[in-house]
């Protein structure tokens, strides 16, 4: 795990990147540990871009890191995300490892390109992004873990294609296993909310999680 001195150096790097590219460039530093699941942000520059601040919870990519651990994680560069108010960001995610190779921090850069997209033809080189990601809906950046959990639940509903009240047992199992795969169960007290949303008991919820993945 990175020590406090190393985190201070990363904070200096974040501040430098933000200063270089100006107020439209958010740079955020997440601490990766079981203790920081709900409050992973330890430093952020230009947080007005996404409305986040120090002490806020993880993004989708951070939650997935906590779920997957250190299994061949590679930096994810120049992909699209979006804010809750619809602004489009060009984002990069870099995994910072300690001396043992364990991911201990994530450095994210989110540059607001909303204004540039209106002049995309003239500024194509500046805002170009990979052909694979261009076919995807930009991922929403959440502010706190409650919003993140709601977002993941919405994704599970879209996966099934019907509201929870209309799902049969197998569909609920598929939705709940999807949530577990995305790391939703790492969020504090998520089990209560998920069980209530799908109209099942917590005992049933955990029994569904123990079943063989069906998707």
Strand partners, 110: 26, 91
The answer to whether residue 129 scores a pLDDT higher than 80 is no
For residue 183, give every residue at least 6 positions away whose Cβ sits within 8 Å of its Cβ, in sequence order, or none.
Answer: 63, 64, 66, 67
Strand partners, 43: 29
Least confident of 31-40, 67-76, 91-100: 67-76
CATH fold for domain 148-210: Arc Repressor Mutant, subunit A (1.10.10)
For residue 201, give every residue at least 6 positions away whose Cβ sits within 8 Å of its Cβ, in sequence order, or none.
Answer: 195
Determine the average pLDDT of the residues in 117-133.
59
pLDDT band at 214 (very low <50, low <70, confident <90, very high): very low
Tell me, what's the pLDDT at 60? 82
The answer to whether residue 136 scores a pLDDT higher than 70 is no
The answer to whether residue 69 scores a pLDDT higher than 90 is no
Name the range with the highest mean pLDDT among 14-23, 36-45, 108-117, 199-208: 14-23
Tell me, what's the pLDDT at 215? 46
Task: Tell me how far apart the alpha carbons of residues 40 and 79 are, in angstroms, rounded to a whole number.
Answer: 21
Pairing of strands 25-31, 41-45: antiparallel
Task: Tell me how far apart the alpha carbons of residues 66 and 37 are, in angstroms, rounded to a whole number.
Answer: 8
In whole numbers, what is the pLDDT of the chain averaged over residues? 86
Task: Tell me how far apart the alpha carbons of residues 96 and 68 are, in angstroms, rounded to a whole number.
Answer: 15
Closest CA to 152 of 69, 144, 94, 85: 144
The answer to whether residue 87 scores a pLDDT higher than 80 is yes
Domain made up of 4-141: CATH architecture:
2-Layer Sandwich (3.30)
Closest CA to 98 of 88, 106, 108: 106
Taking the domains of the chain in order of start, what are their residue ranges? 4-141, 148-210
Q: What is the dihedral of CA 7, 13, 14, 19, to 10 degrees?
A: 150
Cβ neighbours around 131 below 10 Å, total = 7
Task: Tell me how far apart the alpha carbons of residues 47 and 114 are, in angstroms, rounded to a whole number.
Answer: 16
Q: Do 4-141 and 148-210 show the same overall fold?
A: no
The answer to whether residue 135 scores a pLDDT higher than 70 is no
| pTM > 0.75 | no
């Amino acid at each position: 795990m990175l020590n406090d001195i190393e985190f201070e150096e990363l904070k200096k790097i974040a501040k430098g990147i933000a200063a270089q590219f100006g107020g439209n460039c958010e740079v955020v530093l997440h601490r990766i540990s079981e203790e920081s699941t709900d409050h992973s942000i330890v430093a952020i520059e230009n947080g007005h871009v996404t409305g986040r601040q120090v002490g806020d919870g993880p993004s989708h990519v951070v939650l997935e890191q906590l779920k997957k651990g250190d299994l061949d994680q590679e930096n994810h560069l120049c992909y699209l995300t979006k804010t809750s108010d619809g602004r489009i960001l060009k984002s990069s995610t870099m995994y910072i490892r300690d001396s043992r190779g364990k991911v201990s921090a994530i450095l994210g850069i989110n540059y607001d390109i909303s204004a540039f997209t209106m002049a995309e033809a003239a500024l194509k080189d500046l805002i170009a992004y990979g052909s694979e990601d261009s076919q995807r809906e930009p991922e929403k950046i959440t502010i706190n873990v409650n919003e993140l959990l709601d977002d993941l639940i919405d994704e599970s509903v879209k996966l099934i294609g019907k509201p929870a009240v209309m799902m049969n047992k197998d569909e609920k199992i598929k939705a709940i296993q999807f949530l577990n795969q995305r790391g939703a169960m790492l969020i504090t007290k998520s089990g209560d909310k998920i069980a209530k949303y799908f109209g099942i008991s917590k005992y049933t919820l955990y029994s569904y999680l123990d079943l063989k993945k069906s998707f």
